[in-house]
Structure 1
Amino acid sequence: MIKIKSLSVYYQNNIALSNISTTLDDGDLVAIVGPNGAGKSTLLKSIMQQITIKSGSIDLGDLSLKNIAYLPQSSQIDHTFPITVTEFVSAGAWQRTSFWRVFSKHEQHLLKQALAKVDLEDMAGRQISQLSGGQFQRMLFARMLLQNAEILLLDEPFGGVDAQTTELLMRVVQECQQQGKTVIAVIHDLALVQRYFPTTLLVATNLIAAGKTADVLTQQYLLQAGYQHFAYCAVHNSFNNPATSIEKRAS
């Protein structure tokens, strides 16, 4: 399990996370939700030790960073870099093969399997600059699958993709969780959270609530997080209404 105790993180002189304490159990499927600038991505980067912690601690137990696969936001990756889909996805296996070794038949099989799971076999030889937004996101998932880590950290994994691609990638996420992997994802769509994620962390610099999704996405906690509009949605169970999609909010 991941134990987070009294975690505080600052960007320059601005506080991003304040006194966060929670425990994420092995095999959990967890959504992190909250307003823009609430510290959701910061929490993932803190677990990955990509940013300096001001105070507190994150305990991975017997695991290390080698056991974690991190899927960043698509916008953080250079889409114009001259590399093929196969070459990009192959990087997921570097801890097993190093960058300089030729892939074994077994690794080649795993690579093809990862591409097949996200329906990208026909794109294997394409430059990543030629991919659509949804195809690029599927490629990120394929690289994550090839890494075969025990903990998966996903930062806005469904941002900018259509409903069909979201359903495909969500099936991949569910399969990973069924295999015993721990999946922690920053999600903006509360309807998606309500439908698929049994556990939710609601963050607004502080940890507002954590636990079963139905117990977290309530009017009380959403108001406390600054989600006035979605507090109304919680009462009327209308997260699934496109007009109230969290992607359309003005925060």
Structure 2
Amino acid sequence: MSYHPIANYIYDLLVQEITDQEGEITFNFLNISVRINEKSAIGDLFQEWLTEWMRLKRIEFRTKTNTQEFPDFLLNTSDTIGLLEVKTFNYNASANFDVANFRAYYRSLKTEAYRLDADYLIFAYELKDYKFKVRKMWLKKIWEITGGSADYSVKCQVKQDEIVNIRPVVWYSENQKARKPFKSRLDFVEGLYDTLMKYPGTQNQSSDWLEKVKNNYFYHTGEEL
């Protein structure tokens, strides 16, 4: 599997440095310091820590002006190579983070199909008795963490019959009955196309979506999807 070399370097260095390390999260305001034991803000807080860690390690990276835009980090001078997304989830629960907003992602692939090659740096953390620890880490591609569900070819979060976000499968499960991730980039894209054609909110305008994504991916990379 071809991950960006800097993403590989970050992953390898983190494995060496944070394995078995323990810390705590505090909030200090008006000389009042509070230890945090609430998981809801961990993702944003950990990304802030990771940003500073990368600076201290003199790892070159850029971020978008709008920090809510994809990706979290750019590891190359190009805006189409070296895309790195950071995801976190509670180690004591199944991975349930949002891989991407469904509508924004499928629309983007028609003109920015290079997003399919982004790397995902994923942390499973434990926060217990005010102690924070990273229990496991992965460096993955989007098709290695996504798969099908009972409803659609790509597992999604659905609210009031509307698809909201793309969600991961439990890719690390050893349970033979667990849904498996896709086998390739093309496998994922075809699964997304099947989902678009099945979902009432997108099926009428998506007949040429797959062809447009294939053409755009070739345009940006010179390779077949």
Per the normalisation by structure 2, the TM-score is 0.33
- Which structure shows the bigger proportion of residues in helix conformation? 1
Kindly indicate whether structure 1 or structure 2 has the higher relative contact order, using CA contacts under 8 Å at least 6 residues apart.
Answer: 1
